[in-house]
Amino acid sequence: MSDLDPVALTAELVRCPSVTPEEGGTLDVLERVLSGAGFECTRVDRNGISNLFARWGRKGANRSFGFNGHTDVVPIGNPDDWSVDPFGAEIKDGFLWGRGSTDMKSGVAAFVAAAVDFVAETPPDGAVVLTITGDEEADATDGTVALLDWMADAGEQMTLCLVGEPTSPNHMGEAMKIGRRGSMTVQFEFTGVQGHSAYPHRANNPLTAMARLMDRLASHELDQGSDHFDPSSLAIVTMDTGNPATNVIPAQCRSSVNIRFSDLHSGESVGAWLRAESAKVQEETGIQVALNIRISGESFVTPPGELSDLIGAAVEAETGHRPEMSTSGGTSDARFMKDHCPVAEFGLVGKTMHQVDEKVPVADIVQLKAIYRRILNDYFA
Q: Can 121 be counted among the known catalytic residues? A: no
Cis peptide before 104 (omega within 30 of 0): yes
Helix %, strand %, coil % of the chain (to 5) = 35, 25, 40
Residue type, 214: M
Query: How many Å is the Cα radius of gyration of the chain?
Result: 24
Which residues, 6 or more positions from 189, have their beta carbon under 8 angstroms from its beta carbon? 252, 253, 254, 289, 290, 292
Element housing 34 (H / E): helix 26-36
* Spatial contact of 130 and 54, defined as CB atoms under 8 Å apart: yes
Strand 300-301 versus strand 179-180 pairing type: antiparallel
Catalytic one among 136, 263, 333, 345? 136
- Adjacent-strand bridge partners of 195: 249
Please give the Cα distance from 35 to 51 (Å, whole number).
15
Strand, helix or coil at 63? coil
Catalytic one among 23, 72, 117, 156? 72
Q: Can 136 be counted among the known catalytic residues? A: yes
Residue 14, CB half-sphere, CA atoms under 13 Å: how many?
30
Residues identified as active-site: 72, 136
